[in-house]
Amino acid sequence: MFGLSDEIVLLLSFVLFMCFFAGVGLASMRVKQDTTDDYLVAGRGMHPALAALSAVSTWNSGYMFIGFIGFIFVQGYSGIWIGLVSTIGQAVAWIWLYKFIQKEGNERGVRSLSSLVSRTTGAPEAKLAAILSVVFLAIYAAAQLVAGGVALRAMLGWSEVIGILIGFVLVVAYCYAGGIRASIWTDAAQSCVMIVGSTILCYVAVSEAGGFSGLHRTLENVDPGMVNLFPADLTFGVTLWIGAFFLGGLGVAGQPQVVSRVMTLKDDKDRKQAAIWFFVWQTPFIALMFIIGLACRAIFLDLDASDAQDGLPLLAMEVLNPFLAGVILASIFAATMSTADSQVLACTAAITDDVKPEWSQEHKTTKRVTMVVAVFVTLIALGGQQFPGFGDSVFALVVLAVYGLGGIFVPLLLIRMMGYEPDTEHTIWMMVAALSAVIVWSASGYGEDIFPSIPAMSSAFATHFILCWKREASNPNPLGRYSLPTQQTATVAAVIILVLFGALEGTYQAVAPDGNGGSSGNDPYQLTYTVSEWTESQSLTLGDGETQTFEVTIDESMTAVLIAELTITYSDTGETGTQACDEVITSPDYSGLAGPFSESDDADRSTTACDTTTVVGSIRPNADLNQYAAEGAGDYALNGTESDLLDVLEMLGTSPEMVGTLTMDVTVEVNNGLPALLATDNGETVTVTLTMLVFQPSGMTPLTA
């Protein structure tokens, strides 16, 4: 494009749209007021559409672009439950819980979620809630910085640390520019760009996979369990697995950075309008991300599950032109940064309104707190890089933070909404129970079977009922202004629940994939792949005695290389006094490649063999690959157990030895055959070609008897 390399176009597009998003945020400075109320809740006068689009972006952001894609990559069709059921939970939160939150916020003038757990400003329970908010929100914000780093690494090859540090600078800039108003404006802008970009990416990706039917067939070939609506081997059954998603969606009411958007609305009418905007925008967005996640699994057959969160950035580079890929990258990065900014501001509100309420009206002090929190978040993100699989996993960090916050706040909000007023001790016991459940459950290893939302909220409600039953200072009616159900009502409800539970579990047992079958790794499979020729040629026009360099850069996307050969070809021109060909001298250099190689030939050579192709260098990266391509280029099929073939597939899918830059100096020495004054041969044009035989895995298919 415009004579520029793909890498430069991608970078320029990224920078262009990042400047656009940053400009939108900075423009908020024109309407901001230098008050803490404007800084933290935008003066409670935000337009419902802007607040809703920002809530969509803030609630999803790095989780949706990076973590959710990775989840769908691993789960396949069964991942649809998290999208459907969590949306129902969010609808309940918007209809009832947010109504209560907005009413309380406007009447009491509170600006933080932690302030809602107590009627008294600076009460011990409010301080504890604020501290827990800061801890979990800091983890959540760190996940956003990591998500931005993942996107930059996958698409630009930059270190995740660089992405995290760039994110820190942008977060501070957003905060100081316009507070929450800057964040909301930026969220709304990138949401509009991202929905368009995601639609294009989804369409192109599905086409690349052969349409929806081709996508389905490929997923089924990869693993039949990928096209089942239920996952295999759920230790506690499917009901609790799905139920955790509902509570996770309900937990949106326990996310301070999302609640702060609701607090920017003027009244209940604005809340209702914002709710409509929220679901009209988020529902198609979830559908697009779900399909994109499936397409990533079908297109990147050699991508390991541990790298699944790289799926969307890699897909954008694979199927879109560099300019559009840059738009996607900028949208991801802007979304994660503005969300991290929102979470930093929510931490600031918790500290200034609840931990140190005497700072609540000191605007300069509030900004200093923001800076300290931003530094703390960045340190968590950088420290998490030292714990592969968790600290650098966006999905794991988000799950911990979302369900931790939801478990702490939602039970308290629900009982307060019902009119129950717990005292300090009662409130603290409920929060400690939820926190303990999240920590214990996350450490138990059962998090993949049931997300921590069920243990957390169950522990909080169980503690509430026990305190109402046993503690004299607690109101004995756990439902506040509502009466306890009669025995008959309770019995009918229990029967309905048991019937639904039995129906769902029965369906799961009937149609769920057999965890002892394909997933055991011992069933017969067939791996198909192609060995094809990959070439890169350059024509070098050299004068007598001149040296030029042939250079090729190979990135991490290159599949396994069987053999690489360097060849030259040229025709002798300009000769009048001799038939002898000019001399071409070559000097290959493989030091820029990662290596090591099983075999390599980088000897300096001199040839006068014109009008023919001459091999002047070669590399055989991994001799173990020879057994998988005995006939050279062509189509192959390999039978074996699933686990054995997965190891082969992983080996054929990457070429770590060849990553880097290969160079070769080429020099021409002319042979005129005449005195210098009569010479007409001034040089030659030498064509240098790097030819590689590369493996292209097609997929794995189960073999049936």
pLDDT digits (tens, 9 = 90+) for 198-227: 888 888 889 888 899 989 988 887 788 889
d(CA 78, CA 226): 7
What b/e string do you get for 382-406 counting C-beta neighbours within 10 Å, with b at 16 or more?
Answer: bebeeeeeebbbbbbbbbbbbbbbb
pLDDT digits (tens, 9 = 90+) for 224-248: 888 999 988 888 889 998 998 899 8
Task: Report the amino acid identity of residue 20.
Answer: F
d(CA 51, CA 184): 7
Q: Are 409 and 100 in contact (CB under 8 A)?
A: no
Most confident of 110-119, 422-431, 443-452: 422-431
Task: Report the amino acid identity of residue 530.
Answer: T
pLDDT of residue 578: 58
pLDDT of residue 640: 82
pLDDT of residue 704: 57
Please give the C-alpha separations between residue 359 and each of 23, 120, 353, 362, in angstroms, as whole numbers.
30, 16, 7, 5
* Residue 95: pLDDT over 90: yes
Residue 118 has which token pair? 């107590």
pLDDT of residue 519: 43
pLDDT digits (tens, 9 = 90+) for 355-410: 888 887 787 888 889 889 999 988 888 887 666 554 445 556 667 777 788 889 99
pLDDT digits (tens, 9 = 90+) for 277-331: 999 999 998 999 899 989 988 888 767 666 666 777 778 888 888 888 888 888 7
* Residue 551: pLDDT over 90: yes
Q: Are 527 and 640 in contact (CB under 8 A)?
A: yes
- CB-based contacts of 307: which residues, under 8 Å, 6+ apart? none
DSSP per-residue string spanning 140-184 = HHHHHHHHHHHHHHHHH---HHHHHHHHHHHHHHHHHHHTHHHHH
Token look-up 């008050």 returns: 35
User: For residue 5, how many other CB atoms are within 10 A of its CB?
Assistant: 10
d(CA 427, CA 528): 60
pLDDT of residue 73: 85
Lowest mean pLDDT segment, chosen from 472-476, 516-520, 688-692:
516-520
The pLDDT > 70 percentage for the chain reads 91
Q: Are 72 and 157 in contact (CB under 8 A)?
A: no
Which of 27-32's residues contact partners 24+ apart within 8 Å by CB, and which partners?
A: 27/185, 28/177, 28/178, 28/181, 28/182, 28/185, 29/177, 29/178, 29/182, 31/181, 32/178, 32/179, 32/181, 32/182
